[in-house]
């Protein structure tokens, strides 16, 4: 085999080296990114995210957006690399479940209300390019981050006071308030039970008539008050055990 390669190099010269190098160059384009877009604070904070599963060779991304029916004015989406994307917003967790995936984000600015937009994210490497193309309206992709600092404390014997804080990323609570939903869970003989309550416009609620000695798990989610978009993901769970009443 080695002799054949030497003979080929002697006959073809530089062309043989080119043929050998060509085997190291990918012939297939990268997979098209799977992009998820959401508005974390209506109407000013809109993000898109996608996962890059450790490609070889490295992939370069180009992200643009434009009005679907307006003037052909294409804008660049501000790219946020994986090293800093985790600190921008937490509603992108559905982009990828792979622990090895690198999460990219991009931020869209100056979006108009009640306007259709097109997002185009293109992955490029030496083997070619692949694009993701989709349309959206800002009001359809509103999704706040989960409420923060959920607190549960005993109140008047068997009652509980559940309190929480709005997501810090939601910037205009006075103009665009949020409503909240509470879910609490417990187990009976190993079988999980759950109750959903709400929506509530305040950031606290008192629950009555819970069972002494039982441990409950609480979560809270948020949505824009008029029902735009979707509810947030559930907050981190908080556990509490109802004290038993003394005989």
Give the position of tokens 């052909």. 72
Q: Which helix (H) or strand (E) holds 178?
A: strand 178-188
pLDDT tens-place string over residues 61-79: 999 999 988 777 899 999 9
Mean pLDDT of all residues in the chain? 83
* pLDDT mean over 74-96: 70
**Residue 142 pLDDT exceeds 80:** yes
Instruction: Look up the CATH number of domain 36-140.
Output: 2.60.40.10
Query: Does 148-241 match 36-140 at the fold level?
Result: yes
Domain 148-241: assigned CATH number: 2.60.40.10
Per-residue confidence (pLDDT) for residue 246, from 0 to 100: 57
Give 35's contacts (C-beta < 8 A, 6+ positions apart): 48, 49, 50, 119, 121, 132, 134
pLDDT band with cut points at 50, 70 and 90 for residue 94: very low
Is the predicted pLDDT of residue 233 greater than 60, yes or no? yes
pLDDT value of position 55? 62
pLDDT digits (tens, 9 = 90+) for 9-63: 344 444 443 433 444 455 788 888 999 999 999 999 999 999 987 666 778 899 9
Using CB atoms within 10 Å of the CB of residue 36, give its burial: 0 to 12 exposed, 13 to 18 middle, 19+ buried.
Answer: buried
Mean per-residue pLDDT for 208-229? 93
Q: If you count them, how many residues does the chain have?
A: 247
Q: Where are the domains of the chain?
A: 36-140, 148-241
Omega prior to 152 cis, within 30 of 0: no
What is the model's pLDDT at position 76? 94
The strand order across the sheet containing 204-207 reads 148-155, 159-165, 204-207
């Amino acid at each position: 085999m080695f002799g054949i390669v030497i003979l080929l190099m002697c006959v073809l010269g530089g062309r043989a080296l080119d043929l050998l190098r060509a085997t190291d160059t990918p012939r297939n384009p990268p997979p098209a990114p799977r992009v998820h877009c959401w508005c974390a604070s209506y109407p000013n904070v809109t993000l898109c995210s996608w996962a890059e599963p450790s490609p070889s060779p490295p992939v370069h991304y180009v992200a643009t957006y434009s009005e679907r029916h307006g003037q052909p004015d294409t804008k660049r989406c501000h790219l946020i690399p994986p090293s800093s994307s985790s600190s921008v917003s937490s509603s992108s967790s559905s982009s990828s479940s792979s622990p090895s995936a690198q999460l990219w984000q991009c931020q869209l600015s100056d979006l108009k209300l009640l306007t259709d937009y097109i997002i185009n994210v293109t992955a490029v490497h030496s083997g070619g390019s692949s694009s993701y193309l989709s349309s959206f309206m800002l009001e359809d992709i509103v999704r706040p981050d989960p409420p923060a600092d959920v607190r549960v404390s005993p109140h008047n014997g068997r009652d509980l006071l559940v309190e929480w804080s709005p997501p810090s990323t939601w910037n205009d609570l006075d103009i665009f308030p949020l409503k909240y939903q509470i879910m609490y869970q417990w187990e009976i003989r190993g079988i999980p039970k759950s109750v959903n309550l709400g929506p509530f416009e305040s950031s606290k609620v008192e629950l009555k008539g819970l069972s002494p000695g039982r441990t409950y798990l609480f979560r809270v989610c948020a949505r824009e008050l008029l029902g735009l978009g979707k509810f947030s993901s559930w907050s981190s769970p908080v556990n509490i055990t109802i004290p038993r009443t003394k005989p």
